[in-house]
């Protein structure tokens, strides 16, 4: 036998107003009615009276069987059975078949303890469609004395069937009042900007914890599984300004993320380039130092030889220099007794410039001029000697 919460409350109230009949009196009244119907006492010892009594006996047995059969009930896996005896709680039963003393002695109320139920604070959904807000529930004052419109969706289930049926007259209404009270307190402890932007999840979590504590104090038998802030909006007069603030915060976060991504990309490249430059600089430094040390060592060796034989060493250096210069330049021999005027080899320079690139031609021309001048200076120096 299954009834709803209101039925349970009525059974409880009826039990307080009247004394339940005894089982023996009920059976006795039942037998008296049957005796009067079939003429049990007035018909004497006639055959009709015996037949009537026999029929009455079978009817009573059949009625008792049917009556006892009505006490069989089955509790589903998601349900809990609550057995009342004369309106008072007797026991709770879990899933499976059970039997209780039939009405009017005992009654059974089945409660689904696994079903997730929903409560709406500040708005109402009718047939899966939004029907609008409830301003008396959704409008509340913040810490900085601003009005906000907050809508919450609360999911809960029945944790204790006995407490749900008997401790509170209307558990769903109690849940709604508790959540409304808690959300107003939480919103009142925070600023409007926090509630509308960064603090939505934290506000919902605080509401869940505080509401569950109050429901436990009231012993309602309800357990809140989730609290979701469906919407939180400022008054319509300043909604556009707050939308701009939210957009600015989103842009700020986006710029920060882009800057971090750029830094993560460019910093490793810069570090790699700096390491490469340092390695190249160290290699160049090692090369220059080694070359300088070699030249210094060579100079010291020459100085030692020069100290021993200055003339020989000077002549050897002079010849080595001439050999190095003449090996890479054009050579022109001029007779000092000749009085003819010297000309630069313009034709050769022009031809060589046509066959080379523009950048290399300039360098080649300068090398040729410097080589000729060096040759002339060497020759003159030798003539003077």
pLDDT tens for each residue of 321-352: 888 877 777 666 766 776 666 666 656 656 66
φ, ψ (nearest 5 deg) of residue 175: -60, -45
Mean model confidence pLDDT for the chain: 76
Task: Tell me if the bond preceding 267 is cis, omega within 30° of 0.
Answer: no
C-beta of residue 106 within 8 angstroms of C-beta of residue 123: no
Residue 185 predicted with pLDDT over 70 = yes
Give kind and range of the element (H or E) at residue 13: helix 5-17
The radius of gyration of the chain's CA atoms, rounded to the nearest angstrom, is 56
User: How many CA atoms does the CB half-sphere of 151 hold within 13 Å?
Assistant: 15
Name the β-bridge partners of 117.
156
Residue 208: other Cβ atoms inside 10 A: 21
Report residue 25 CA to chain centroid gap.
68
Q: Which residue has the tokens 């003429």?
A: 39
Angle between helices 358-384 and 346-355 (to 10 degrees): 150
**pLDDT computed for residue 346 by the predictor:** 58
d(CA 119, CA 153): 6
DSSP letters for 34-94: HHHHHTTTTTTT-HHHHHHHHHHHHHHHHHHHHHHHTTEEEE-TTEEEEEEETTEEEEEE-
Diameter over CA atoms, the chain: 188
Residue 7: other Cβ atoms inside 10 A: 14
**pLDDT computed for residue 380 by the predictor:** 44
pLDDT digits (tens, 9 = 90+) for 78-114: 788 888 888 777 777 877 787 777 888 878 888 888 8
Greater model confidence, 344 or 318: 318
C-beta of residue 159 within 8 angstroms of C-beta of residue 134: no
Name the β-bridge partners of 112.
79
pLDDT digits (tens, 9 = 90+) for 115-159: 899 999 888 876 655 555 677 888 888 998 888 889 999 999 998
User: Phi-psi bin for 222: left (phi > 0), alpha (psi -120 to 50), beta?
Assistant: beta
Give the range with max mean pLDDT: 305-319, 323-337, 343-357, 364-378. Answer: 305-319
Give kind and range of the element (H or E) at residue 74: strand 72-75
Report residue 153 CA to chain centroid gap.
20
d(CA 166, CA 14): 13
d(CA 153, CA 170): 19
Greater model confidence, 330 or 38: 330
Least confident span in 8-17, 211-220, 259-268: 8-17
Q: Residue 57, class by beta-carbon neighbours within 10 Å (0-12 exposed, 13-18 middle, 19+ buried)? A: exposed
Rounded to two decimals, the pTM is 0.49
Give the range with max mean pLDDT: 31-40, 54-63, 109-118. Answer: 109-118
What kind of fold does domain 117-237 have according to CATH?
Tetrahydropterin Synthase; Chain A (3.30.479)
d(CA 11, CA 5): 10
**pLDDT computed for residue 80 by the predictor:** 82
**pLDDT computed for residue 19 by the predictor:** 43
């Amino acid at each position: 036998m299954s009834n709803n919460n209101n039925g349970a409350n009525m059974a409880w109230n009826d039990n307080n107003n009247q004394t339940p009949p005894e089982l023996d009196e009920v059976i006795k009244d039942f037998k008296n009615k049957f005796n009067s119907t079939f003429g049990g006492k007035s018909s004497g010892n006639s055959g009709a009276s015996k037949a009537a009594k026999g029929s009455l006996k079978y009817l009573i047995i059949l009625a008792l069987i049917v009556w006892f059969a009505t006490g069989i009930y089955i509790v589903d896996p998601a349900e809990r059975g609550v057995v009342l005896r004369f309106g008072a709680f007797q026991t709770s039963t879990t899933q499976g078949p059970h039997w209780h003393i039939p009405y009017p002695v005992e009654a059974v109320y089945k409660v689904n303890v696994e079903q997730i139920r929903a409560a709406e604070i500040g708005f109402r959904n009718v047939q899966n469609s939004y029907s609008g807000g409830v301003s008396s529930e959704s409008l509340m004052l913040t810490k900085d004395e601003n009005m906000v419109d907050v809508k919450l969706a609360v999911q809960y289930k029945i944790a204790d069937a006995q407490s749900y049926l008997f401790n509170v007259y209307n558990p769903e209404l109690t849940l709604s009042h508790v959540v409304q009270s808690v959300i107003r307190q939480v919103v009142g402890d925070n600023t409007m900007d926090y509630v509308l932007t960064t603090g939505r999840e934290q506000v919902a979590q605080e509401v869940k914890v505080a509401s569950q504590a109050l429901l436990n104090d009231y012993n309602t038998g309800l357990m809140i599984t989730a609290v979701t802030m469906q919407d939180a909006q400022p008054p319509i007069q300043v909604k556009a300004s707050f939308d701009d603030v939210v957009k600015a915060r989103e842009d700020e976060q986006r710029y920060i993320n882009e800057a971090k991504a750029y830094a993560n990309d460019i910093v490793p490249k810069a570090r790699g380039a700096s390491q490469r430059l340092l390695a190249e600089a160290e290699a160049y430094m090692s090369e220059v130092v080694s070359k300088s040390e070699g030249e210094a060592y060579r100079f010291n060796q020459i100085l030692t030889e020069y100290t021993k034989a200055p003339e020989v060493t000077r002549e050897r250096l002079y010849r080595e220099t001439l050999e190095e210069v003449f090996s890479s330049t054009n050579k022109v021999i001029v007779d000092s007794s000749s009085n003819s005027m010297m000309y630069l080899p313009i034709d050769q320079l022009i031809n060589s410039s046509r066959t080379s690139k523009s950048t290399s031609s300039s360098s080649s021309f300068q090398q040729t001029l410097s080589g000729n001048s060096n040759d002339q200076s060497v020759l003159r120096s030798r003539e003077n000697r």
